[in-house]
Amino acid sequence: MFTATATLFSSLSRLLTAAGVGLLLLLLAPTAAHAQTWMVSTDPYVKLGVNDKYGQLGAYSARFVVTNQKTGKAYILVKEVAAGQNGVDVVFPSEPAEVDYFKTDTNEAASSKPGQYIWECQVGGKKVVSGRFVIPQANNDVTVIDKTR
C-alpha cells in the first residue's frame, strides 16, 4: 500500500508541476497587439571624395577636414590611397565603431548635428579640394496601424 500511495503521490506531483508550468507560460505569453508599433531613425550623411584624375601621384594620404561653422570644431579623417586607386570617398559623419572615423584632436566623434559645414581635403600638406554643405534637421513621422479583425 505504501508503494501505491508513493506512486500516486509522485504522479499527482508531476501533474501539478506540469499544470503550474503551463499556467505560468500562459500568464507570461504576450497579449494580442491592438496596433503595430514601429521604431524609426534618420541620420543625414554627406559623401566627400578626392580623386587624382590622371593618377600621377601614385600612393598618397588624403586628410579630410570638416569644420562645423557654428562651433568651430574641426573633425579629421585621414585615408591612405593606394597606387592605382587614384581616389577615395568618405562619409561624414562616419560611425565611431569603424576603424577610421571623423574625430577632433581630442577624439570626439563627429555627429550629424544640423548646421553649416565647410570641408577640405589636403594632400601633401596642401589643400587640393574644398567645399561647403548643410546637414538638415531630420524629422520622422510614425503612422499607427490599427489591428481590426
- What local confidence, expressed as pLDDT, does residue 99 receive? 86
As a whole number of angstroms, the distance between CA 29 and CA 54 comes to 65
53 and 25 in a common domain: no
The predicted-structure confidence for 51-76, as pLDDT tens digits, reads as follows: 999 888 899 999 999 999 999 999 99
- What local confidence, expressed as pLDDT, does residue 145 receive? 67
What total number of domains does the chain contain? Answer: 2
Q: How confident is the model at residue 114 (pLDDT cuts 50, 70, 90)?
A: very high
In DSSP terms, 119 is beta-bridged to 66, 131
7 and 61 in a common domain: no
57 and 25 in a common domain: no
Cell of 74: 574641426
